[in-house]
């Protein structure tokens, strides 16, 4: 039951119809990407990703990838993917899940309320990745301020060390 090296976001409801989390501007996206880099996470943009891939996180390399060739030039969509992948960075910082076990059912219900089909593409992932993906879909739907706050909270040790 090994995990895939890259945690990925495929084209689906979660990217095509962003949940609630939206960045107000390209500047906001740039500042958050800077915060990720400050914590030691490489932020990469590729123009040659497979057609269904929007973004990915590689824990071993501590690298977050955005697939420019599959993303519209739309800050809301890019923010959604950045927030989703940043959740995987937070899981990496924490070395485990973001939510306690007793909150997972409520998280699933919240994601379903925001975007009823957002969990359908979980079948594309190995079952060992389902929890990580539920948490990432929850984070991508949060307001930008909350995503940044969570990142600072879960990855604070990395920010302080740098």
At 10-34, the pLDDT tens digits run 444 344 344 444 566 899 999 999 9
How many C-beta atoms lie closer than 10 Å to residue 16's C-beta? 13
Task: Please state, rounded to an integer, the average pLDDT across all residues of the chain.
Answer: 85
Assigned token pair, 135 = 């948490």
- Residues 67, 53 contacting (CB under 8 angstroms): yes
Output the pLDDT for position 83.
96
Output the pLDDT for position 9.
52
Output the pLDDT for position 127.
87
Question: Domain limits of the chain?
Answer: 6-155
Output the pLDDT for position 23.
60
Q: Quick one: which of 84, 77, 73 has its CA closest to 140?
A: 84
Q: Quick one: which of 112, 143, 139 has its CA closest to 57?
A: 139
Below-50 pLDDT ranges, the chain: 1-6, 10-21
pTM: 0.84
């Amino acid at each position: 039951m090994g995990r895939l090296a890259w945690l990925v976001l495929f084209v689906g409801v979660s990217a095509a119809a962003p949940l609630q989390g939206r960045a107000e501007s390209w500047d906001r996206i740039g500042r958050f990407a800077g915060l990720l880099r400050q914590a030691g996470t490489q932020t990469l943009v590729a123009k040659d990703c497979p057609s269904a891939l929007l973004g990915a996180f590689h824990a071993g390399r501590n690298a977050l990838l955005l697939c420019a060739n599959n993303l519209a030039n739309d800050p809301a969509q890019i923010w959604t993917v950045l927030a989703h992948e940043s959740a995987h960075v937070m899981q990496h910082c924490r070395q485990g899940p973001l939510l306690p076990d007793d909150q997972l059912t409520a998280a699933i219900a919240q994601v379903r309320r925001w975007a009823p089909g957002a969990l359908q593409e979980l079948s594309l992932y190995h079952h060992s990745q389902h929890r990580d993906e539920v948490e990432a879909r929850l984070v991508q739907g949060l307001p930008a301020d909350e995503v940044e706050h969570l990142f600072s909270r879960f990855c604070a040790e990395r920010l302080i060390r740098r």
